[in-house]
Amino acid sequence: DFCTRTGEKFGDQGYVYMNYQTLLDMTSGYGFVATPVSYWYPPQGVQVKHTLTRDGKNQFHITALQAQQFDLYRDGTYIKSFWETSMIDEETDPTKEHTYYIMAKNSIGETRSPIITIPSSQPIPILQKAN
């Protein structure tokens, strides 16, 4: 009464090829369970969103499938490793423009996020009215 089907599809962005299995209950024709078999691959779909904290520090929110650890890079230099999906760069110089990326890692490999450019947050000069 049960039939197992195995297929293949592309992962996020078409970069990773992964297998999946579907268990179909042939008695009703409607019930099924799909289980991605993606633990054989490096992290997928790494995305980073940037916000500023109240005190002007750069905060990053990361989403990635199968990631176990993250590394932060600022201006191409490794800064630190972390395991949460949100982190704050405590040592940012707000007067300079910085580029960031996150390296998502697991036991199989690593995947880099897109590069984010954060402009300097220097105060905008105020023009005074001429007399």
CATH no. for residue 74?
Answer: 2.60.40.10
Strands (E) across 1-131 are located at 2-10, 17-25, 32-37, 44-52, 58-65, 69-74, 77-82, 86-89, 98-105, 110-112, 116-118
Q: What is the mean pLDDT of the chain?
A: 76
122 pLDDT band (50/70/90 cuts)? low
12 pLDDT band (50/70/90 cuts)? very low
**Which range of residues forms the domain containing residue 6?**
2-37
In a domain, 125, yes or no: no
pLDDT given at position 70: 97
Same domain, yes or no, for 55 and 78? Answer: yes
Number of folded domains in the chain?
2
Same domain, yes or no, for 27 and 88? Answer: no
Same domain, yes or no, for 55 and 104? Answer: yes
pLDDT given at position 9: 42
Q: What is the percent of the chain with per-residue pLDDT over 70, rounded to a whole number?
A: 63
2 pLDDT band (50/70/90 cuts)? very low
